[in-house]
Structure formats: C-alpha cells, structure tokens
Chain A
C-alpha cells in the first residue's frame, strides 16, 4: 500500500516536472542557476551581496504589511503608526524589522561596496555592474530620507525640514526640486502625500528593475570576489605567456634559448605535432 502510494507520488511529480519543463524550461533554468560554480575560499565574504538583497526583500515585505495600517495624511499618519506600535498584531515587530533592517541595509551596502572596491571587482568586464550598484546606493539613500518624514513625528518632520533646506541650496535645480517635493511653499499635507508616493511607489518600482539588472550582470560575468581566487589560473596564464615569449625569441633568433628549463617538455610537444 505505502509502496504503491510512494511510486504514484514519484510518477506524479515526474509528470508535473516534465510538463513544466516542456512548457517553460524551468527545470533547466533552475539547474543552470543552482549549479553555477562560485569561488570557494571567500564564501563567507561573498554573503555581503546576498545580505544586501535579503534586507531589501525584508524592506519590501514589511513595507507592504505596514501599508495595511498606515494612513498618509497629516491628521492620521502619527496615530496610525502609534496604533501599529501599540495595538496591531505583531505591529511592533513588523515596524521594528522595517526600521532595523533599513539600518542593517545601509551597513551591509557599505561593506559590500568596500569589498568590491578593495578587491577591484569593478574592473572590466564588470564596470556597468559597479555603475548599477552606485545607482542602487543612491536610490536606497533617497528611500531612507523619504521614509523618515512618513512618521510625521517631531524627529522625522524637523530632520526633513533641515534636509530640504540643505537641498534648496543646490545651484539652479535646488529651488524647483524642493518646490516640487514640498508640493507648495511650506511643508504640509501635500508634502506628506508626495513623500509617501515617492517612498512607497516610485522608488521601489525603480529599485526593483535595477536589482534585476545587477543580478543579471552578476550571473553573466560570475562573482569576481578577489584576485586570490584566481592565483592558479593566473600562474598558468603567466607560464604559458613565458613559454610563448621564448618561442618567439627562438623563431626570431634561430638560436635555442639557453635559459629555459622546459627543454624536454617542449621537445615532447614537438614530437606530438
């Protein structure tokens, strides 16, 4: 009985897998994604990028949950957050995760960036991935800034006032930009609506495709990690280049190069040819 159920389950899962594979190619895709070889030595160091991704995912999930209660009006914004913190089921935890993972996000994004910088991971052919990474950093900073005002408490309110005052000093673009963000001449209900729209709709919608591009480019060129991951391959490359330079020397001079140590190997190679 149990054996029959088991074999039926195996048949069914095989049927479903084949059906999906035939129509979407998803099994080949998963194999391709999951069995990609990655550097072994620095495996712990390379978790910084995935930690950044994870904290951003946490931001998305807890942000969506906060939207169930949050009201983006000057009259109710603070009250709704107070309700989340005191009354709502797991409200304190959901807002706490949103707040703390935002802080962790800025820490790991900095560490991730430093790791890429000091290992030279931005070099050819990975330049554009660095550029996309800087775009992501700027988006996250603006998200952090716009999120502060949404609390509509004294801290967030006055910090935003100061922030926009600083922004208004920008030459040429400062005035119109701040006027647009404020939705008028002074901070008020329109400002909260705009910061809400930017924080909840605009920036996440821009952020998500850039994360996609970042991951696509990462898979295309592979994790770089560090030069130390490639020391054997670099040694082989340099050895081959050295031998080639000897050969070029012999071809040009017609004289055997006296300094070379691999005479026997090379004769063997010639016999094979």
Chain B
C-alpha cells in the first residue's frame, strides 16, 4: 500500500532545513487524497446545490428584448462592476472620465502584476509586513464602500438620476 503524506525530502533521516527548502513542506500534512479532496468536494457540492436552488428560487434574469430605439432605459451593470461604475462618479466630465475609466484601472492592474516584486520583504505573515497589509485592506475597504455607495444610489434613485 502506498504510504500517504510521507512527503518529499523525508526518506528515513532528518531533513536539513535551509532558507531554500523551509517552505517546501508544511509541519503537519494530510494526503491530498482523500482528505483534501473530500474538503474540496464538500465545498463544491455546496456551491452546486446553491446554484441549483437559486436557479429556481431566483431565476437568471431576462428583461425585455433589446430595443436600440429606446432612449429612456437606465442600464445597470452587474453587481461586480458596481464599484467600478461608482468610482467613475468621482471623475465627472469629458476631461476626467478617461482618466478614471482607463488610466486608474490600468495602473491598478499593473501594480497587481508587479506585486511580487514590489513587496520584497522576507516576511510572509501579514502582521510582519504592515505596509502591504494596510494597502490590501484599503483596497478591500474601497471596493466594498464603493459597492455600498452604488447600491444606496440605486435604491435612492430607482429610475436613474
């Protein structure tokens, strides 16, 4: 029988831990199969059940057929674009909207790509690298706040401004 979760560099003798291999194998391990697979299957099943139930409780929306001739329709983006739409409210007018719509998100995505090279601190724990943690929390708070602002605006002006 295959011995589960013995790990790579642990064949009989004690492994010498260096800076390079310290993060190669956690202290306590479980085998990917079956334990982690069962955890994953459990969450996946919950998601599937939620999707099936929601598809009958709250069916996927389908409004009237598209009519390019309408002029009064107030479109709403999907909820995951709310924060983006709300952010655009802070860049009104033709001079600024290009900046808010494209330049700011592009810079943000560039920073996301560069993140591993921006945060060069040797620490991993969020408490030991406060700068990255604070920036990350600020991003989360900004996105959530903007979403809430968008939702409150939609509740306030159901027919649009």
Chain A interface residues toward B at CB < 8 A: 31, 33-41, 43-44, 46-47, 50-51, 54-55, 58, 74, 78, 81-82, 85, 92-93, 95-101, 103-104, 106, 108, 114, 117-124, 126-127, 130-131, 134, 138, 141, 144-145, 148, 151-159, 161-163, 166-167, 169-171, 174, 186-188, 222, 224-234, 236-237, 240
Contact = CB atoms under 8 A, between A and B. Distances in A.
A-B pairs with the 5 shortest C-beta distances? Answer: A96-B55, A158-B75, A99-B60, A157-B66, A37-B29
Chain B residues touching A, range: 35 or more
A162 B4 CA distance: 55
Interface string B8-22: 100000001111001
Contacts, number: 251
B98 A82 contact: no
Contacts of B52: 93, 96-97
B66 A134 contact: no
B21 to A, nearest CB: 9
A50 B23 contact: no
B76 A237 contact: no
Nearest to B14: A236
B26 interface: yes
Interface in B31-73: 31-33, 35-37, 39-40, 42-44, 47-48, 50-52, 54-56, 59-68, 70, 73
A237 B65 contact: no
Contacts of B68: 157, 186-188
Secondary structure dominating the interface of A: helix
B22 A237 contact: yes
Contact of A134 (B23, B30, B103, B109): B109
A10 to B, nearest CB: 16
B110 to A, nearest CB: 10
B113 A170 contact: no
B83 to A, nearest CB: 11
A96 B60 contact: yes
A50 B136 contact: no
Given A34-B33, A101-B51, A154-B65, A161 B26 contact: no
Contact of B47 (A44, A51, A95, A187): A51
Nearest to A34: B33
Given A46-B36, A93-B52, A120 B125 contact: yes
Interface of B: 2, 4-8, 16-19, 22-33, 35-37, 39-40, 42-44, 47-48, 50-52, 54-56, 59-68, 70, 73-81, 88, 97-98, 101-103, 109, 112-113, 115-117, 119, 123-126, 129, 132-133, 136, 140
Contacts of A117: 115, 132, 136
Given A51-B44, A100-B51, 6 more contacts: A37-B8, A51-B43, A97-B55, A103-B79, A119-B126, A233-B27
Contact of A100 (B22, B54, B79, B132): B54
14 contacts: A46-B39, A47-B43, A50-B44, A58-B48, A93-B55, A117-B115, A123-B116, A144-B78, A152-B65, A166-B101, A171-B102, A171-B103, A187-B68, A222-B24
B48 to A, nearest CB: 7
A224 B31 contact: no
Contacts of A92: 55-56, 59-60
A169 B85 CA distance: 14
A44 to B, nearest CB: 6
Contact of B25 (A106, A163, A233): A233
A124 B63 contact: no
B55 A82 contact: no
Contact of A130 (B27, B61, B79, B116): B116
A120 B47 contact: no
Contacts of A103: 79-80
B44 to A, nearest CB: 4
A134 B112 contact: yes
B88 A120 contact: no
B36 A38 contact: yes
B30 A148 contact: no
